[in-house]
Amino acid sequence: MRPAKGLNRREVLAAVPAVAAAQAIKLGGPSQPLPVAVASSNGLRAVAEAVKRMEQGLPPVDAAVAGVSLLEADPDDVTVGYGGLPNEEGVVQLDAAVMDGTTMRAGAVAALEGIKHPSQVALAVMRRTTRVLLVGEGAKKFARAHGFTEENLLTERARKIWLYWKENAAPSDDWLPDPKELEDPDIRWFVERFGDAYFRPQGTIHLSAVDGQGRVGCCTTTSGLFFKLPGRVGDSPLIGCGLYCDAEVGSAGATGHGESNIIVVGAHTVVEFMRQGKSPEEACLSTLQRVVRNTREVYLKDAQGRPKNNLTLYAVNVRGEVGAASLWSGSQFAVCRTGQAPELRACAYLFQRPQRTP
Ligand code: GLY
């Protein structure tokens, strides 16, 4: 963009938020108390932190990053940041993205190794470059240039879980499982949470935030599909898929089977459905219907033709209404609204998950 006469590029960028915020305010005041944050079920602490930061005046995108950073630093969340489960070669590769719905700027990193807070690097990509997405070695060089320190993200627990997967993945390869492995507290911890049969889920945290000043922002961060192909990038760092927001409408994001979400450009689709007048929950459900229609490969479907994998979508509109929906029953989402304690709520869903036989 050529700056208007008399304005340099920095002044043009700085001028954008005021214009967008003014447009959003014209749409009418909030019908629910703001600020509000919505996130995946692992984000209970994150939504509380995001709301606290917005109450202190931080823009929603920065508040979202502050919230998810708690999980990125937590070794007990094996789906995000430090302690995240590695790829099939035992290397932790992280994806993250941020978007500011007021400026319509975004930043993202993918397949980033050795940096604990990919969400903060994504924020730096948004603020400190003219680009949107950096990957792999380039993303790491950029992070180091901005003072992020490199560290080993593979915790002992994550290494043991990866080895357990590797040894049990194929009966005819060269890796032999230790019969005592299932007695290891770290392996038992993993199997209790994620099961032994459904062995490759993908966790993630998404957080969408709306403040009381017409500003909207979001962030998604993940270690991606457990034991993924090296270099595999899911939906999380792809703007429009893992997250999207627009201060005229609201914000949305996703966790779950990334490939299913990429095909429907899920988060953008949710925001567009809300623009057409759907509630956040209706917008999430309509987008999931598209996922069902677009799931064509036999290996992705169960005997009744339904997607085998799960996908959950989260949304909030500028009036502060929230909603979330999953393909399969049993998921929850986290919400925090100013003046209220953070809480988990049940997601709407398309299909009832069959009861497990004991
Ligand atoms: N939704 C996270 C992933 O597929 O990597």
* pLDDT at position 19: 41
CA 206 to chain centre: 3
- 186 exposed, middle or buried (CB, 10 Å; 0-12, 13-18, 19+)? middle
Nearest Cα residue to 50 out of 215, 205, 211: 211
- Position 233 confidence tier, pLDDT thresholds 50, 70, 90: very high
- Most confident stretch, 6-10, 132-136, 173-177: 132-136
**pLDDT at residue 145 is higher than 90:** yes
Cβ atoms of 93 and 42 closer than 8 Å: no
Q: In angstroms, what is the span from residue 224 Cα to ligand 1's centroid? A: 5
- Position 2 confidence tier, pLDDT thresholds 50, 70, 90: very low
Rg (C-alpha) for the chain, rounded Å, is 20
- The more confidently predicted of residues 180 and 66 is 66
Q: In angstroms, what is the span from residue 225 Cα to ligand 1's centroid? A: 6
Closest ligand 1 atom to 261 CA: 1
Closest ligand 1 atom to 256 CA: 1
Closest ligand 1 atom to 234 CA: 5
Cα torsion 225, 153, 81, 146: sign = negative
CA 192 to chain centre: 23
What are the boundaries of each domain within the chain? 16-351
**What tens digit of pLDDT does each residue of 252-261 get?**
999 999 999 9
- Position 88 confidence tier, pLDDT thresholds 50, 70, 90: very high
Distance CA 52, CA 133 (A): 29
* pLDDT at position 179: 84
Mean pLDDT of 221-242: 96
- Position 130 confidence tier, pLDDT thresholds 50, 70, 90: very high
Distance CA 53, CA 22 (A): 22
Mean pLDDT of 71-88: 95
**pLDDT at residue 242 is higher than 90:** yes
* pLDDT at position 18: 41
Q: Is 127 left (phi over 0), alpha (psi -120 to 50) or beta?
A: alpha
Q: In angstroms, what is the span from residue 128 Cα to ligand 1's centroid? A: 26
Mean pLDDT of 90-94: 98
Q: What is the CATH number of domain 16-351?
A: 3.60.20.30
DSSP per-residue codes, 317-328? ETT--EEEEEEE
In the predicted model, what is the mean pLDDT of the chain? 90
**What tens digit of pLDDT does each residue of 302-313 get?**
999 999 999 999
Q: Which residues are catalytic?
A: 204
Q: In angstroms, what is the span from residue 79 Cα to ligand 1's centroid? A: 9
- 298 exposed, middle or buried (CB, 10 Å; 0-12, 13-18, 19+)? exposed
Cα torsion 241, 155, 157, 42: sign = negative
Q: Output DSSP code: residue 299.
A: G
- Mutate-to-test residue for ligand 1 from 85, 93, 202, 232, highest number of ligand atoms within 8 A of CB: 202
Nearest Cα residue to 315 out of 266, 280, 282, 286: 280
3-state secondary structure 257-288: CHHHHHHHCHHHHHHHHHHCCCCHHHHHHHHH
* Cβ count within 10 A of residue 277: 8
**pLDDT at residue 124 is higher than 60:** yes
* pLDDT at position 202: 66
- Position 178 confidence tier, pLDDT thresholds 50, 70, 90: confident
- The more confidently predicted of residues 355 and 238 is 238
Q: Which residue puts its alpha carbon closest to atom 4 of ligand 1?
A: 258
- Mutate-to-test residue for ligand 1 from 225, 262, 265, highest number of ligand atoms within 8 A of CB: 225
- Position 21 confidence tier, pLDDT thresholds 50, 70, 90: very low
**pLDDT at residue 204 is higher than 60:** yes
Closest ligand 1 atom to 311 CA: 1
